[in-house]
Amino acid sequence: MYYFCGPFLNKIFYKMKQRTGRFQAITEIIRSKIVGNQIELNNILREKGYDVTQATLSRDLKCMKIYKTPIADGLYKYTLPNSSKQSVQTSSSVFSNDAVLSLEFSGQLAVVKTKPGYAGAIAYNIDNNTNDDILGTIAGDDTILIILREGVNRDNVLI
């Protein structure tokens, strides 16, 4: 029985080691370069010796909680969670660029309309920089659903 478990466990440990190395490579790439899409990131990973499918890369980015933030002229870049001041500046610059177009309430829900591509960054900023009045957000490309806690007055919510 040990004979069958040995190769199986070795394969699992090998994959775990590969994944850890790939995560480190992705982190290094995103910290050192502006990378705007998975194709570009996958090409850089291949140059570093990591041959992964788009599906694997997509799962890696989700697992690492890497998100896209707008930079300029409709372009985006990958950003590490809770990383540098640059991501905070990018998030706050979203507000100064008049990216929020409208805000409407319905009971304990609020719908924010944004310029295309900005909703994710704004929702991330709301989720990570607000008090307990907001339960959470759900973001699409240009729309954010904000869920207020029960009993919170909409006048207390500032966006």
Q: Are residues 11 and 55 in the same domain?
A: yes
Give the range of the structural domain holding residue 137, as residue numbers without chain letter: 95-156
* pLDDT confidence tier of residue 4, bands split at 50, 70 and 90: very low
CB 110 within 8 A of CB 154: yes
Higher pLDDT, 131 or 153: 153
User: Using CA atoms, how far apart are residues 47 and 16, in angstroms rounded to an integer?
Assistant: 21
pLDDT at 125: 79
* pLDDT confidence tier of residue 158, bands split at 50, 70 and 90: low
pLDDT at 46: 94
Whole-number average pLDDT of the chain: 77
What is the arithmetic mean of pLDDT over 21-37? 91
What is the arithmetic mean of pLDDT over 113-126? 84
Give the model confidence (pLDDT) of 80-108 as tens digits.
886 433 333 333 444 445 678 888 888 88
Q: Domain total for the chain?
A: 2
Q: Are residues 102 and 56 in the same domain?
A: no
Is residue 7 in some structural domain? yes
Q: Are residues 52 and 102 in the same domain?
A: no
What is the arithmetic mean of pLDDT over 63-71? 87
CB 157 within 8 A of CB 134: yes
CATH code (residue 44): 1.10.10.10
Higher pLDDT, 81 or 1: 81
Percent with pLDDT over 70 in the chain: 74
Residue where one domain finishes, among candidates 64, 82, 109: 64
What is the arithmetic mean of pLDDT over 53-76? 87
